[in-house]
A = this chain, B = another copy of it.
Amino acid sequence: MLPEAVLARAAAEMLDYEGSGQSVMEMSHRSGSYQAIIDGCAALLREVMGIPDSYEVLFLQGGASTQFAMVPLNLAVKSGAADFVITGQWAKKAYAEAGKLLGEGARAVASSADRTFSYIPALNREGFNPDADYFHICLNNTIYGTKFPILPDTGSVPLVADVSSCILSEPIDVSRFGMLYAGAQKNMGPAGLTVVIIRKDLIGDPRLGTPTMLSYKTHAENGSMYNTPPCYAIYICKLVLEWLRDEIGGLEKMKALNERKAGILYNFLDSSALFKGTVEKGSRSLMNIPFVTGNEELDAKFVKEAAAAGFINLKGHRSVGGMRASIYNAMPLEGVEKLADFMRAFETAN
């Protein structure tokens, strides 16, 4: 979901961006007009997220799935070892891909697979590898609806996080991380753009045999313009960031709004006689809220009736079943209130 104001502006500027007579889709990425867009997007992201100058912002392609390979290829260059916390599908994929490239260097230090990833496991620094080149987490787990309530203390080992489904939903203390990465398609803009925020001292020569396009150094040295970037997606991301800063009022305000939205659903789930949330209270996500009735047939009935009433995409992932409400930034408060009302009515009727 994208803010309606962003879509309206994109439509209005489609044939003529700021009097240029061109669509942003047609601009040369080497033109001054486009340079202003990509620079503006990076500057806005730095401003909105409070990214320190010691970090580089990169606009890449290939999604988080490509980062699962780029992270080990670029960061696992000293000991060749990395620690992983397994909190869901994406964390598992990041671990598997690192294992493919690093062999036994990739190690899982904790997992919540035993209870279908319904919680964030407790972490003890004594179990971490102090010589690891990085420590990887998936900060918010889309499918299972969990979020790390506190960040692991990894000491001098750089903490790397996949933040695809929670970036821009609330403030993040970037200085706690060696690197953050996110596919843009949840809170930032359209699919096809990947944002990487990386501490500059971690950018160096990658492992031997790394393709040029999979090296952070390639992109950092060329201002994300080693080759043609996903120009239009970056432009939309810039519009989203302007909306977030100027209409919402920044990440503290966004967080307050997201907490209100999530609170409506969590409060309802906690008091409902029919529905219940599947995630431990201390591990709950602000963005993704999975729930069940406890009866598969009733779940299916709910998903069907909800879709007929205009609440789409409520079916949970096949590995969890049940339902999941994803309430990303652009979902308005009213949308969440209406969903809670609908659930209340369904409960009464069933």
Cross-chain pairs A/B with CB under 8 angstroms, 13 sampled: A7-B15, A7-B25, A61-B61, A61-B62, A61-B66, A63-B228, A65-B213, A65-B227, A66-B213, A185-B228, A190-B231, A192-B233, A211-B214
Q: State the CA gap A186–B65 with chains docked (Å).
A: 27
Chain B residues within an 8 Å CB radius of A73: 211
Partner of A65, one of B66, B70, B190, B226: B226
Bound state CA distance, A92 and B192, in angstroms? Answer: 27
Nearest chain B CB to A235's CB is how many angstroms away?
10
Copy total for this chain: 2
A101 interface contact, C-beta 8 A: yes
Residue of B nearest to A192 (CB): B230
A residues neighboring B (CB under 8 Å):
1-2, 4, 7-8, 10-12, 14-15, 23, 25-26, 28-29, 31, 61-66, 68-70, 73, 97, 100-101, 183, 185, 189-193, 209, 211-214, 226-233, 236, 313
Known: A65-B227, A190-B25. A100 touches B11 (CB 8 A): no
Contacts of A64 in B (CB 8 A): 227
Considering the complex, give the chain B residue whose CB is closest to the CB of A30.
B313
A314 to chain B, nearest CB (A): 12
| Residues from chain B with Cβ under 8 Å of A192 in the complex | 61, 192-193, 229-233
Give A24 Cβ to nearest chain B Cβ, in Å.
8
Asked if B183 and A101 make an inter-chain contact with CB atoms under 8 angstroms apart, the answer reads no
Which residues of B are found within 8 Å of A69, using beta-carbon distances?
211-214
A65 CA / B101 CA spacing, docked (Å): 22
CB pair A236–B25 under 8 Å, yes or no, is: yes
> Which of B8, B15, B228 contacts A15 (CB under 8 A)?
B8
Closest beta carbon of chain B to A210's beta carbon, Å: 9
Contact across chains for A212 and B100 when beta carbons are under 8 A apart: yes
B residues less than 8 Å from A4 (CB atoms): 15
CB distance from A239 to the nearest CB of B (A): 11
Distance in angstroms between the alpha carbons of A230 and B231 in the assembled complex:
12
**Bound CA–CA A232/B14 (angstroms):** 14
Q: Is the CB of A191 within 8 A of B229?
A: yes
A232 to B190, Cβ gap below 8 A? yes
Q: Check A209/B211 contact, CB under 8 A, given A14-B10, A232-B190.
A: no
